[in-house]
A and B are shown apart, each in its own frame.
Chain A
Amino acid sequence: MFDGYRLTPYDEMFEAPGRPRPHYASLLESLVELGGEELARRDKLADLTMRQQGITFTVYGRSSGVERIIPFDPIPRLISAAEWDRIERGLKQRVRALNLFIHDVYHRRLILKSRVVPPELVFGASGYRRVCVGLNVPRDVYVHVSGIDLIRDTSGEFLVLEDNCRVPSGVSYVLKNRQVMKQVFPLLFESYNVRPVDDYTDNLLAVLRAMAPAGCDDPTVVVLTPGIYNSAYFEHSFLARQMGVELVEGRDLVFDRGQIFRRTTRGLERVDVIYRRVDDDFLDPLAFRPDSMLGAAGLMGAYHAGNIGLANALGTGVADDKGIYPFVPEMIRYYLSEEPILANVETYRPLIPAHKSHILANLEHLVVKAVDASGGYGMLIGPASTRAEREEFARRIEANPRGYIAQPTINLSRHPTFVNGRLDGRHIDLRPFVLQGEEITVLPGGLTRVALPEGSLVVNSSQGGGTKDTWVLDHAPPRPAYHSFGNPHA
């Protein structure tokens, strides 16, 4: 099964050819025991389960087959208890700082006055919302749900690749992957002590209820979706179902005398908290894009009057802007007086003349990202680019230095992945999900995304990425049954 498996740093399973890392030893043994054929059979079974349950996402900008399932890889990704402890502390620290930053930006702006973050980057960020200035939100929590993308570099160090503080998606796949995994590999699962993930929706509901307007004891919570054609519709529906709340579209909501109501078969009924999966720009055609059909006219009025709770709060995009990203470690030092536990990926900013010349001279070694794009759209991967693409990006950077950042191409860690009937190394990342209500909690694990084409570094599902179940181990890993486990190449 491991025929021709190439070991390149950092490999998640093997520390040397034929020598698995301690927490992977038992998994490796079970896989070899199962054999390729059986693995293929179960892989197919997992695929079928996903399709029948309609666990799909929608790909934009392609004419054929709008609905697709995200390819699911049956080999789980393991994170040891010690590794996870550090990640968890790092994420809590980072989200706390990001939240303080957003509050500061819309209130006293101390961090701008102290010149720790350049004001022009904040006010020029596409996620900055002037309507939020001076606006108070319940408990001063802005980022209720965030997804912080982590990667591992060649030395095995976890680094933060980007923050997602607006409407991060993917958590439903974490929960579904786990369900499918338990069905398809019950024994494999049992042998490890894996931390459960299924209390996520309970925690999310608690976070949402906690932000109800003052004086509202039993708040009505709804999930707001753009509708069934949105790429993450499955997730919206799944979360509403798991929380036992209604899934609404913009056209279900009406604004009347300062409050938001939903249209029901018995007339209008009040809504207190909206978990919105619609971008800021589309929330209220009166306040933002007038052509938006996805929001509710008047929503901002109710928000300003304190009659409705919104998660995430409005204007959080200022914190996950790629132009702000390089300053997050400084934010942590500034607000918390702590050293960052998780480091950033080294980042160059074309606004700094020295950086710009470095970027332009080294385009073929760098990854260039547009600061206001996400999902793998609008980026240049230097080593895989053509001369024409590089020239195009050089022009764009010259014209709009504020609009781009560049990072060295990092060889993401690789993980054995089931492709074409055998196991081969594929690049992976990790998106853990962080909830912030009365306290900050981190879902153990998160979404491991895997770039399925050989050598590819792009893990986004919109670009052909797949997912793996992520197992955070509680305590020590099980010992393999045979200590003398041999060389997998044999």
Chain B
Amino acid sequence: MTDPANFRLRVTFCKQGRLCMLSHLEIARALERAVRRAGLPYAISQGFSPHMKIAFGAALPVGVGGTCELFDLQLTRYVAPQKALAALQAASVADLMPSAARYIEHTAPAASVAFPKSTYLARLSALPEGGVVVPETVTVVRKKKEKTLAVGEYLLGELELALAADGDAGDASVVAQLRFKLESKPTGSLRPDVLLANCTDGAGNTLQAATITRVAQEA
């Protein structure tokens, strides 16, 4: 820690179960409230509208879960990471549970931009006959404007299809898993759920994804 007056705690948490359906803003609000319930000595911005100094990692779409989501919290004094984690866990609901906390350098890049490469795991309820066909482009509508994204710009490597072990994630209807890595660009990103919705099996049928989960975030 270069600046002892600066305690920047990076917390890892999961977004799972029904809470996958929360939006990024709803998650942000819920985490802020958990921090307050935990009684941590969080820092407050100075200005016209004082608010907690907290920053969130790259947003997940509504419906997509995560096992290694991040937020950075500025504290006004040192609290042992394990104690801070225990307090946060006691103040959190199971499906939005923190799993790790560590201090990071105050110069470290923000969690929202530090890890542009995300690995996703989609659990499929039907085995794609004849493999997965990935489209070359995907058309999305943003702010009423159509935009065509070249999948190759965002997709890193191949989609890996594997048969699911019995009772995958406690759900017997899951028969296969699809693992893929997407990179977000300063100009935009391709949502994992949108990519999947545009993929087909060999016969041209859409894939049936039971859940989509971000399982890794890398620099």
Q: Do A and B come from one complex?
A: no
